[in-house]
Amino acid sequence: MKPRSFRFPVRVLLLVAVAAALLTLLGSPVSTQTPYASALLNLAASPVFAKGCPDKRCNRNVQCVSGLGYSCNRIGGSGCEATPCN
């Protein structure tokens, strides 16, 4: 009686493991061509955002403008300098 009661849970665990492996290997298709895709699908967390990068770059050494992954520092009253965020 004991071997039979042991086989059923082993089979269930094996089936769950195979299903999990298939889902992991195949994955879900990521396509932005569907109306059901999330608006946040294309956003990815990056170290730049996590560190608080201001995302400003220098435009012709005159003014700081929006620029992903850069930090802009004003130099004097009329210039600027951009450095990549680490």
Residue 30: per-residue pLDDT: 56
Q: What is the DSSP letter of 44?
A: -
Q: Which residues contact 66 (CB under 8 A, 6 or more apart)?
A: 55, 56, 57
Tokens of 35: 């109306």
pLDDT-based confidence at residue 52 (cuts at 50, 70, 90)? confident
Q: What is the pTM of this model?
A: 0.36
State the number of CA atoms in the 13 A half-sphere of 44 facing the CB: 3
Q: Is the pLDDT of residue 4 over 60?
A: yes
Beta strands in the chain (DSSP E): 56-59, 63-66, 70-75, 79-84
